[in-house]
Structure 1
Amino acid sequence: MELTVGPNQFFWPAENWMSFYGDLAHASVDRIVLGELVCSKRLPFYQDRIPDAITRLVEAGKQVALTSLALVTLKRERKLTADLADLGVTVEINDLTALAHLPQNTAFDVGPLINVYNEGTLAWLASRGARRICLPPELPIASVRVLAQAAASLGVAVEVWGHGRLPLAISGRCYHARLHGRSKDNCQFACENDPDGLDVLTGDGQPFTAMNGVQTLSDSYACTDHQVELLQSAGVSALRLSPQSQGFPRLCALYRQRLDGQLGRGDLEHALRADDPGKRLSDGFLTGESGAEWSGSACAPIEAAR
């Protein structure tokens, strides 16, 4: 099973952004998705560095793709989407409107923000040129298995969200700007102050979600430590790791060891908790009753879950 690094969901200084992808050139991952997923206003700060990052990653033997925006609303955003194919690497669409801007008969990938919930949608995307699909993170393991089998018959690789705060929604409004009493057009890039998202609490102080500019994320970090064997048996081709500002190369190494059998079920969880004891983990979408649940050592045996 491969490891894919998804697009960075957050706004980091350009130097930090470039350093992050420089480190990934040496990380134990197979494929990396670059570019801006959340807010087009962030892109000018690091856009000129993308070609150099692509070159460095390709020279290091990595597969590289470029993401589309999750929500295309402006004329300049349509042009940015149309320009993606000009860089000579695979495009990952996260908004179906991006299909209109790809040259005919061009192969492409599909990100987790496209609602691929059934075999019909998967087959339609394959007929349009999709060669790799990262399934939406809210699917249970039974649905993942059905879709992975359908994809295999069509020559399409299937990824599953492996680790990171889950993308829940994209809005036309900027939560960070509103929090600071600013308009979206004059946000002053407040989201830069929260490189992994800003925790949102309920009225009585309980963790609820996280905000990231116009994006809503899960409070917890999805972690598939206890589902690796289930996903392998289901025919999943790759796990997707979502970038975080601290300790990401180590996270990649731990997942590589887990997939290669060097770590047993639960060992990855223990390592993550040792690094950050306060971080909440979840895997409920795959095997629980709600997405925020964490199975931990109580994860159902593989045979029983089939």
Structure 2
Amino acid sequence: MKLTLGPVLYNWEPSVWRDYHFRIADEAPVDTVCIGEVVCSKRLPFLQDMIPEVVERLAQAGKEVLLSSLALVTLERERKQMASLTREADHLVEVNDMSALVHLARRPHAIGPYVNVYNEATLNWLSDNGARRVCLPPELPTASIRILAEACPDLELEVWAFGRAPLAISARCYHARLHKLTKDNCQFVCGKDPDGLATDTLDGQQFLTVNGVQTLSSTYVNLIESIPDFKAMGVASCRLSPQTCDMVAVAKIFRDVSDGLIDPEQGRVTLASLCDGISFSNGFLHGRAGIQYQTGHGAEA
């Protein structure tokens, strides 16, 4: 099974973002790395000049590079940015907003987890339109993943296997509003929370995580115990979404489980020691509330 490292969703310092990817290139046993700004187009100028050298470093290390698009396009400059990315990219573009397909029709591309792929008809339509790989939304249960894998066996399917689950994205910036700022004058306050801003209920229970215009789960999705099931279904890849924990170590644990060097339960326990008290979840996979975690594998949904 392949491993894919998703794009950084948070507003990391540019030097931290660059050095992180350099280390991934040199040390992480992943097959594919997604590069690009998915959440907020205002962040992209800080990274733009570094992207070519990061892509080159990853390619030299033998990693496949996907160029990820925005998940929500609302402005004229964002539409132009999308058109430029799809027109000039030297690597496969990962589509996170359907508007990109206007420029990519019949050309090879990838589909990201922000595009709703819930049934065989959608999957086959995307394949006919040029999609070569699809990262499924994180809310799908095991039964749905199995059906989709059987329906289109020639398409590479990927599951969201680690990291905070993306739940919603909006035109309104929650980070800016919290700090009594407007979206146009946000002062990039989201950069203060490199792993997202925790949002609790009035009762003090962990609830969600805010990342600028994006809402994420408070927990880290962790599907490492289901890797044997995914392999049996024909799922091609597991996606690891970057967090502030040691992602090289995370990737090595997933690789060891996939290669049969350690058992899935041991992998879960080792991951827990890396994640600084963050709770895990896999409820969506088992047809339960997403925030829940069920140990073991083999459950139907």
Same fold (TM > 0.5) = yes
- 2:166–2:216 contact (8 Å) kept in structure 1: yes
CA distance in 2, matches of 1:66, 1:202: 36
Report the residue type matching 2:101 in the other structure.
L
- Residues 270-279 or 214-223, more deviating: 270-279
2:126 matches 1:120: no
1:100 corresponds to: 102
Report the residue type matching 2:89 in the other structure.
L
Deviation at residue 266 of structure 1 after TM alignment: 1.0
1:14 corresponds to: 14
1:66 corresponds to: 67
- SS at 1:266 equivalent: helix
- 1:196–1:244 contact (8 Å) kept in structure 2: yes
CA distance in 2, matches of 1:271, 1:110: 31
- SS at 1:163 equivalent: strand
Taking the TM superposition and a 5 Å limit, the aligned residue runs for 1:133-212 are 133-152=134-153, 155-212=154-211
Deviation at residue 246 of structure 1 after TM alignment: 2.7
Deviation at residue 274 of structure 1 after TM alignment: 2.0
- SS at 1:166 equivalent: strand
Deviations 1:158-205 (A, max 9, x none): 000010000000001000000000001011001000001011000011
Report the residue type matching 2:231 in the other structure.
Q
- 2:245–2:275 contact (8 Å) kept in structure 1: no
Report the residue type matching 2:95 in the other structure.
I
- SS at 1:272 equivalent: helix
1:287 corresponds to: 286
- 1:167–1:217 contact (8 Å) kept in structure 2: yes
1:87 corresponds to: 89
Count of matched residue positions in the alignment of Structure 1 and Structure 2: 299
| Aligned Cα root-mean-square deviation (Å) | 1.3
What TM-score do you get using the length of structure 1 for normalisation?
0.95
1:55 corresponds to: 56
Deviation at residue 145 of structure 1 after TM alignment: 0.3
1:40 corresponds to: 41
1:258 corresponds to: 257
- 1:226–1:295 contact (8 Å) kept in structure 2: no
- 2:67–2:92 contact (8 Å) kept in structure 1: yes
* Structure 2 unaligned regions, length at least 5: none
- 1:54–1:64 contact (8 Å) kept in structure 2: yes
- 2:245–2:274 contact (8 Å) kept in structure 1: no
CA distance in 1, matches of 2:41, 2:181: 18
- SS at 1:239 equivalent: strand
Report the residue type matching 1:250 in the other structure.
A
CA distance in 2, matches of 1:44, 1:305: 45
Report the residue type matching 1:294 in the other structure.
Y
CA distance in 1, matches of 2:127, 2:140: 19
Report the residue type matching 2:250 in the other structure.
L
CA distance in 2, matches of 1:151, 1:56: 33
Report the residue type matching 2:103 in the other structure.
H
Deviations 1:124-151 (A, max 9, x none): 1011100000011100000000001112
2:231 corresponds to: 232
CA distance in 2, matches of 1:287, 1:87: 38
CA distance in 1, matches of 2:275, 2:25: 25
CA distance in 2, matches of 1:112, 1:276: 23
2:246 matches 1:247: yes
CA distance in 2, matches of 1:76, 1:101: 16
Deviation at residue 87 of structure 1 after TM alignment: 2.7
CA distance in 2, matches of 1:272, 1:127: 38
- SS at 2:50 equivalent: helix
- 1:30–1:63 contact (8 Å) kept in structure 2: yes
Deviation at residue 288 of structure 1 after TM alignment: 4.2
- SS at 1:46 equivalent: helix
What TM-score do you get using the length of structure 2 for normalisation?
0.97
- 1:288–1:295 contact (8 Å) kept in structure 2: no
- 2:137–2:160 contact (8 Å) kept in structure 1: yes
- 1:9–1:243 contact (8 Å) kept in structure 2: yes
